[in-house]
Structure 1
Amino acid sequence: MNTRQQQILEIVNQRKSVSVSELAQLCSVSEVTVRQDLNALESQHYLKRVHGSAVSTESDNLDQRMQTNFLTKKLIAEFAASLVEDGESVFIEGGSTNALLARTLAERGNVTLITVSYYIANLLKDTECDVIILGGFYQKGSQSVVGPLTRSGIQQVHFSKAFIGIDGFHDSTGFTGRDMMRSDVVNAILAKSTETIVLTDSSKFGSIQPYPLSEQYPISRVITDAELPAEYQHKLEAMGIALNIVNP
């Protein structure tokens, strides 16, 4: 995705629907160029084209979440992808930033992606990478599986890195999640004692959610954006967690 396509996607996500002619004016290019960009973006499921306009995808909650701070999440996902070597098997838990990571890795092909997210699996249906999706109780809202069967599946597969999302981090609580069953899945991932990497935008820091993530098996790395307050940077470093900050 080039810079102009990123600009187009940001405009569409903000306005929900924008005509081709208006996009051409806003981006200072011809309508032919805009149509070519829209075709490329639609082919990757970033947006939809309808009667001379581009519209944001709104098929489920994750689509809507992906639209929020999209460019920041994309930068985080691209940095995370740079940590994965060809031939690796990695676990991708779920969430909008992790979905972007999965799509970025899938474009390379020579990786195996293990996930509990049927949303992510569906994103990768036309790619060449290998996908292993675990079973369990299906949560319709998040399009992920949870519960004892999911925990059992996590115990039976092997991976070199795990990428997870969080819903909150605070000095008094550490990392937290808003959903009990999904937090349980993350704790099962942490118990594998592999390299576990959090992908999150900085808005989650300072927030406290109900369900704690295990401190028995520490998180290895956090990748976030430059808006992360200095106090949390110092806290993560004091906890021995590697910190990578991406800049737009």
Structure 2
Amino acid sequence: MKNSMENVQNRRNQLVAELKQISSITVKDLADQLDVSEITVRRDLKALNDMGRVNWHHGVVEKVDDELSQGNSLRTKIEQLKDSIAAAVPSYITDNSTLFVNSSSLCWRAINQLAVKPLTIITNNIRATECVRHPETSIILTGGEVRYPKESLVGTVTIQLLETMQSDFTLIGCDGISAENGVTTQNIYETQVNSTMIQRTKQKVICVADYRKIGVSSNYHVADLSSVDVLITDSFANERVVRDFRHRGIEVIQVAN
């Protein structure tokens, strides 16, 4: 019988845990330690290498720090995942609708993808003015205090403007989304802005997050999981968590990598 995806993910997590203890190891030694075949280890390594969690070459596996966001290899892979997720967003937004968009980098990519549709986009992301757009699209900045280095607009002015509006859709990025703590962020200044966007949505809240954010809780609570209608992520996302989200009524889309 084939392993369930949950078992596969547990084995891959164990593989990464083994690598945290040493700097490098051969495929054969890993297979012996995990008591599985070399073919199985190679299949796991291909997936983990694609995710940027390990460096695998010439039969040797090298440790990759989970904080590798500064490393060129992982950064490139994550950027590619974000592009794939962003490219899926336009299918869930109707023409001529109004949408709130928060200041996440993934949402910024999605704004560029939404150039195929005429829209009214209301956002606290200053960089949205750099995005390509449909000739009939209006981009409205919320105003407020500029927070660097992210260049997001936050504070009382931002929230007051959002409270005078309603959107058809809200597109929200996050630092974590889990069943226990819902949508969370590590930026305290953006918490209430994101929460207000979600509360003022008439139709659907669409959350975009790569696999690193799925099942994770960050410092500050934005909204309960029940507030999310659609989650767009990638196929590396934890399958157990994805299955739980679906059971809770969230439409989860996993883009190919």
Out of 145, 150, 158, the residue aligned to residue 150 of structure 1 is: 158
What residue is the counterpart of 1:98 in the other structure? 107
Asked if the contact 1:221–1:242 (Cα under 8 Å) also holds between the matched residues in 2, the reply is: yes
What residue is the counterpart of 2:196 in the other structure? 188
The alignment's TM-score, normalised by the length of structure 2, stands at 0.65
Aligned partners of 1:68 and 1:121: how far apart in 2? 26
Aligned residue-pair number? 183
What residue is the counterpart of 2:219 in the other structure? 210
1:114 and 2:122 correspond? yes
Aligned partners of 1:182 and 1:239: how far apart in 2? 26
Q: Shift in Å at residue 157 of structure 1?
A: 2.3
Asked if the contact 2:179–2:225 (Cα under 8 Å) also holds between the matched residues in 1, the reply is: no
Asked if the contact 2:122–2:139 (Cα under 8 Å) also holds between the matched residues in 1, the reply is: yes
Aligned partners of 2:103 and 2:254: how far apart in 1? 21
The amino acid of 1:89's aligned partner reads: T
The amino acid of 1:93's aligned partner reads: N
How do 1:34-45 and structure 2 match up within 5 A? none
What residue is the counterpart of 1:233 in the other structure? 242
Q: Name the SS of the counterpart of 2:121 in structure 1.
A: strand
Q: Name the SS of the counterpart of 2:86 in structure 1.
A: helix
What residue is the counterpart of 1:178 in the other structure? 186
Asked if the contact 2:165–2:200 (Cα under 8 Å) also holds between the matched residues in 1, the reply is: no
RMSD, aligned α-carbons: 2.3
Indicate how the Cα distance of structure 1 residues 117 and 67 shifts in structure 2: closer, same or farther if over 3 A, else same: farther
1:127-175 residue CA offsets vs partner (Å, 9 max, x unmatched): 6321111111111211111111111111122321110011013343232
What residue is the counterpart of 1:88 in the other structure? 97
User: Which range moves more in the overlay, 210-219 or 229-238?
Assistant: 210-219
Q: Name the SS of the counterpart of 1:186 in structure 2.
A: helix
Q: Shift in Å at residue 103 of structure 1?
A: 0.8
What residue is the counterpart of 2:57 in the other structure? none
Aligned partners of 2:244 and 2:159: how far apart in 1? 30
Asked if the contact 1:198–1:223 (Cα under 8 Å) also holds between the matched residues in 2, the reply is: yes
Indicate how the Cα distance of structure 1 residues 66 and 189 shifts in structure 2: closer, same or farther if over 3 A, else same: farther
Q: Shift in Å at residue 123 of structure 1?
A: 2.6
The alignment's TM-score, normalised by the length of structure 1, stands at 0.67
Aligned partners of 1:88 and 1:75: how far apart in 2? 23
Aligned partners of 2:255 and 2:222: how far apart in 1? 24
What residue is the counterpart of 2:143 in the other structure? 135
Extract structure 1 runs of 4+ deviating beyond 3 A. 65-68
What residue is the counterpart of 1:160 in the other structure? 168
Percent sequence identity is 20
Asked if the contact 1:75–1:246 (Cα under 8 Å) also holds between the matched residues in 2, the reply is: yes
Indicate how the Cα distance of structure 1 residues 190 and 71 shifts in structure 2: closer, same or farther if over 3 A, else same: same
Q: Name the SS of the counterpart of 1:245 in structure 2.
A: strand
The amino acid of 2:175's aligned partner reads: D
